Amino acid sequence: MGMDSIWSFMDIIFAGAGLYALYACYIMKVKGEITTSLLMSKDVDIRKCKDIEGYKRFVLPKLLIFALSAVLFGGVGLVSTYVVPIPNEVYYAAMGLFFVVLIWYAYQTKKGIALFW
C-alpha cells in the first residue's frame, strides 16, 4: 500500500467520522438521544448527568462544528485524490483547521462532563 493509498484511506476515515458526527447531531436534535461514543469516555454514566437537557444544549453546537470540520478535511482530500487536484496549501489548511477543532472539541467534551456530572 503506497502513501497515496494510505492518505486516501485516512481521508475516507475522517469524512466518515464527520458524517457519523452529523448523524449524532441529527439524533440528538430530533430524537433527543445522545450518542455517547462521540461525546464522552465509556466510564462516564449518562444516567448520572445532573442536567441532560443543559448538556445537550452545551454539546450540540460543538459537535456540529467538529462534524463539519471532519467532513471538510476528509472531503478536501477525497476531492483532491479522485476529482481534481487541490493545492497542497488548501489541503494543509483544512488539516490544520481540523486538528485545531479536534483539540478544542476534546477540551469542550471534558468541560461538558465537568459541568454536568
DSSP code of 43?
T
Phi-psi region of 86 (alpha: psi -120 to 50; beta: other; left: phi over 0): beta
pLDDT digits (tens, 9 = 90+) for 81-114: 999 999 999 999 999 999 999 999 999 999 999 9
Q: For residue 73, how many other CB atoms are within 10 A of its CB?
A: 26
pLDDT digits (tens, 9 = 90+) for 17-55: 999 999 999 999 999 999 877 777 778 888 899 999 999
Between CA 78 and CA 85, with CA 81 as vertex, the angle to 5 degrees is 110
Between CA 79 and CA 94, with CA 85 as vertex, the angle to 5 degrees is 60
What is the mean pLDDT of the segment spanning 66-84?
96
